[in-house]
Amino acid sequence: MKVLVIGLGGVTNGGKTTLAKRLRKQLPNCSILSQDDFFKPECEVEIDEHGFKQYDVLDALYMEEMVTSIHSWMKNPTGSSVSTAESKSTPVNLKSTEEVHILIAEGFLLYNYEPLNEVWDRRYFLTIPYEECKRRRSTRVYQPADPPGYFDGHVWPMYLKHKREMEENKNNIGMVYIIFKYIKIIKSSDFCKSLYFSRIFLAFMQQC
Ligand SMILES: Nc1ncnc2c1ncn2[C@@H]1O[C@H](COP(=O)(O)OP(=O)(O)O)[C@@H](O)[C@H]1O
Ligand SMILES: [Mg+2]
């Protein structure tokens, strides 16, 4: 049995969850693990001098638990206690000569935490332009809700900071940069183009 751990990281509202779910429908034995499920409770999240809750940082997440969950899935993908939603059907167009189990770990802060860097078989980074990101974010209802100015005062600056740190980390160069090229294909809110991206993505994964 082969196991593959795929990282689907990137900006908030970049389409990570949407793409992960779409891929799960098309891939056999595919589970999703969402970083959003590892947020600490609100009372444990720090507040900065402007009164903004510091959600978009590693300290707001139980990262050790996330790593443990991925490792436990890797050891036992069928019996893992990891709470993942698994695909039920196997697409007819995928050959399954060897049993392959795939875990798609998706989240906004995957590649800035050293212990996670060793788990990826493939990793991708989704990004969209500032205006589109802000627009999409404003249509979402978060718990707790984004206060006025939160996107520009916390979310976007943290995204830029983490992206810069990710790109400066030599371990991340190569894989991530290739994906930036593909991401240019889906920088607009065009679902047809994003489907095209999914096909490229699938082709990538079938090469594993
Ligand atoms: N390729 C796309 N084109 C346009 N809108 C998209 C696309 N992918 C996702 N969306 C929309 O963007 C919003 C955020 O998508 P989501 O997958 O939840 O992002 P993330 O998990 O990265 O935060 C949702 O409203 C979703 O419908
Ligand atoms: Mg999401």
In the chain, where are the structural domains located? Answer: 2-206
Instruction: Note the ligand closest to the C-alpha atom of 36.
Output: 2
Does residue 194 line the site of ligand 1, with CB under 6 A?
Answer: yes
Q: What is the pLDDT of residues 113-125, one digit of tens each?
A: 999 999 998 888 8
The pTM of this model reads 0.84
- Residue 10 CA: which ligand is closest? 1
Does the Cβ of 136 fall within 6 Å of ligand 1?
Answer: yes
Mean pLDDT of 90-110: 75
Q: In CATH, which of 3.90.50.10, 3.10.180.10, 3.40.50.300, 3.40.190.290 is domain 2-206?
A: 3.40.50.300
The ligand 1 atom at the shortest distance from the C-alpha of residue 106 is 21
Mean of pLDDT values over 122-143 = 89
Rounded to the nearest angstrom, the distance between the alpha carbon of 118 and the centre of ligand 2 is: 22
- pLDDT, tens digit, for every residue of 32-82? 999 999 999 999 999 999 999 999 999 999 999 999 999 999 999 987 656
* SS3 per residue for the chain: CEEEEEEEEECCCCCHHHHHHHHHHHCCCEEEEEHHHHECCHHHCCECCCCCECCCCHHHECHHHHHHHHHHHHHCCCCCCCCCEECCCCCCCCCCCCCEEEEEEEECCCCCCHHHCCCCCEEEEECCCHHHHHHHHHHCCCCCCCCCCHHHHHHHHHHHHHHHHHHHCHHHCCHHHHHHHHHHHHCCCCHHHHHHHHHHHHHHHHCC
Is 18 close to ligand 1, i.e. is its CB under 6 Å away? Answer: yes
